[in-house]
Amino acid sequence: MTTSLNWWKGGVIYQIYPRSFMDANGDGIGDLAGITSKLDYVASLGVDAIWLSPIFTSPMKDFGYDVSDYCDIDPMFGTLADFKALIDRSHELGLKVMIDQVISHSADAHPWFEESRQDKTNPKADWYVWSDPKPDGSPPNNWLSIFGGSAWKWDSRRLQYYLHNFLESQPDFNFHNPDVRKAHLDNMRFWLDMGVDGFRLDTVNFYFHSEGLEDNPPVPAGEPKTMGAPHDNPYTYQRHVYDLSRPENLDFLKDMRAMMDEYPGTTTVGEIGDDFPLKRMAEYTSGGDKLHMAYTFDFLNKPHTPDYIRDVLKNMQEIVGDGWPCWALSNHDVERSRTRWGANEDGEAYPLVALALILSLRGSVCLYQGEELGLPEADVPFERIQDPYGIPLWPVFKGRDGCRTPMVWDKSLLGGFSTVEPWLPVSKEQLPLSVAEQEANPDALLHKVRQLIHWRQQQPALVNGELSQRDVNNAQLVALVREYQGERLLVVLNMTGESQQATVGADIMTELQGHGFVSTLNGQALTLPAYQAFFAKLS
């Protein structure tokens, strides 16, 4: 684990979904005390930080991504004192603490919105995005909600529509109002003063909208759709020109960065769902005066062939420049990578080489809870579905509950997560992969992931180096060179189920060991068995 002020640069961040990590009070829902009780386990992985999905006061219609008080903890998770105890214990263990900030929208139960919707003249009247209807009473324009239907909801008190990019109960803030921008920065200061080390910024490119409320054009035939939603969602039919990624966002991000710089060692990572995500990442993370890092959905979608991976890295190199990406294979919004990428692969071996990929790239890394165990996506029956995104799109899209089921700590019926039936069912398929089962098996994936992360943290070229791609005469392999302060390191990854041959070149100096993978090098000829990786120092 790193200790410098730039710990985040190349750092590994472990994402915790609080509702599903550990239930300490026996109500079937994970909580802060439960997280604190498992921090020794998290620290043992060798990660640098934890990121908590939202823990703020909320009506929970979108499970915390609808905030009704930005400066308090929802009682289901505990208290501010519980959170301070979590911070203190994390810091004792050398872990940084990052929390979500969901500031593009609030809950409709937030006092600010309750005031705003009363009339057109109150002090909060223009804190949210309101608009008159068209003469025929229809919504102001064609903007769509990611969660389905129009992005506009009629309010009978103001006789106006309000904008919601997500649920109807998640009205969007009007960031053109300077009081809104100041209020959100003040809320962030509250947590920085408490000791948090950074923020994950939900939908960071959604803050501003075009005040002209122009219709979005359709996606031209043959052009790629946004990766911010499933392709069977009509939201992806539009080119999102006017409802997100507006140029004014850059100035606000600069104001945010100036505030963060008052707290040395803190960081920000932005979530970018956009029609052109790498371009947006370059804008938002370059120059050292906006976001510290950002992530896109390039590796959170289904494509994962070697050609696809090479194309993503090529585009990243060409577009992002001095910006800093944060890589992830799984999170709380997408199907788990063992199922999404590895459904037809060896379930024991594939997850490790997939993690080796993102741990070898230029950038930082997010590891989602249970990924170190190789957990597959859980199958949640329709009658247990909780996600409001999944219910209307069932069965083609089953929502996000399958990646949010409780963490499995042991193989008991409830996985050691709780003493009562949890809010989502424990996956029986995941029980044999529990922490206790894998800790007891020296050959289990958990030990290999732990070994790989600890080994990677000792390789400055992998943590901080620049990246280039390399031709090893085999298109089935992904080959990279990382370079840092004169040290060059070659990485060759075989993510296929068959042994592969490669020609690595005459500049191999030393084959590196200790990472847990196996290979055979004979002169310049490399043999990589299925799902294995090769690391070597170059001259």
3-state secondary structure 171-197: CEECCCCHHHHHHHHHHHHHHHHHCCC
Query: Which one of 136, 223, 232, 262 is the catalytic residue?
Result: 262
- E strand or H helix that includes residue 337: helix 337-340
Tell me the per-residue pLDDT of 352-383, one tens digit each, with 9 for 90 and over. 999 999 999 999 999 999 999 999 999 999 89
User: Residue type at 30?
Assistant: G
Cβ contacts of 222 within 8 Å, gap of 6 or more: none
β-bridge pairing 152-155 and 130-131:
unpaired
Q: Which of 529, 517, 483, 488 is nearest to 505 (CA)?
A: 488
Count Cα atoms within 13 angstroms, Cβ side, for 532. 18
- What is the C-alpha to C-alpha distance for residues 104 and 340, in angstroms, rounded to an integer? 29
pLDDT by 10s per residue, the chain, length 539: 445 899 999 999 999 999 999 999 999 999 999 999 999 999 999 999 999 999 999 999 999 999 999 999 999 999 999 999 999 999 999 999 999 999 999 999 999 999 999 999 999 999 999 999 999 999 999 999 999 899 999 999 999 999 999 999 999 999 999 999 999 999 999 999 999 999 999 999 999 999 999 999 999 999 989 888 888 899 999 999 999 999 999 999 999 999 999 999 999 999 999 999 999 999 999 999 999 999 988 999 999 999 999 999 999 999 998 999 999 999 999 999 999 999 999 999 999 999 999 999 999 999 999 999 999 999 999 899 998 877 777 777 788 999 999 999 999 999 999 999 999 999 999 999 999 999 999 999 999 999 999 999 999 999 999 999 999 999 999 999 999 999 999 999 999 999 999 999 999 999 999 999 999 999 999 999 999 999 999 99
Query: Which one of 23, 62, 172, 202 is the catalytic residue?
Result: 202
Distances (CA, A) of 402 to 23, 329, 385, 412, 454: 18, 15, 9, 19, 29
β-bridge pairing 49-52 and 12-16:
parallel
- What is the C-alpha to C-alpha distance for residues 215 and 243, in angstroms, rounded to an integer? 9
**Residue 2: predicted pLDDT:** 46
- What is the C-alpha to C-alpha distance for residues 452 and 354, in angstroms, rounded to an integer? 12
How many of the other CB atoms lie within 10 Å of CB of 132?
11
395 cis-preceded (ω within 30 degrees of 0): yes
Give residue for tokens 């139960």.
109
- Bridge partner list, 316: none
CB 184 within 8 A of CB 250: no
Longest dimension (CA), the chain: 78
Count Cα atoms within 13 angstroms, Cβ side, for 179. 7
CB 252 within 8 A of CB 270: no
Judge whether 262 counts as a catalytic residue: yes
**Residue 3: predicted pLDDT:** 54
- What is the C-alpha to C-alpha distance for residues 168 and 170, in angstroms, rounded to an integer? 5
- Angle ∠(357,363,364) on CA atoms, nearest 5: 90
270 — phi, psi (to 5°)? Answer: -100, 140
**Dihedral sign (CA 366, 369, 373, 375):** negative
Task: Please tell me whether residue 481 adopts helix, strand or coil conformation.
Answer: strand
Q: Is 527 exposed, middle or buried (0-12, 13-18, 19+ CB in 10 A)?
A: middle
β-bridge pairing 293-295 and 267-271:
parallel
Residue 505: left (phi > 0), alpha (psi -120 to 50), or beta? Answer: left
Catalogue the long-range contacts made by 437-441 (C-beta closer than 8 Å, 24 or more residues apart). 437/410, 437/411, 438/373
CB 526 within 8 A of CB 498: no
Provide the 8-state DSSP code for 406: P
End-to-end CA distance of the chain: 28
**Residue 296: predicted pLDDT:** 85
Q: Which of 103, 99, 81, 86 is nearest to 42 (CA)?
A: 86
Per-residue tokens: 424: 């989502």
How many of the other CB atoms lie within 10 Å of CB of 188?
24
- What is the C-alpha to C-alpha distance for residues 341 and 329, in angstroms, rounded to an integer? 9
Residue 64: left (phi > 0), alpha (psi -120 to 50), or beta? Answer: left
User: Residue type at 144?
Assistant: L
**Residue 123: predicted pLDDT:** 98
How many of the other CB atoms lie within 10 Å of CB of 538?
19
Length in residues, the chain: 539
Per-residue tokens: 114: 């309750």
CB 299 within 8 A of CB 20: no
- Bridge partner list, 98: 51, 198
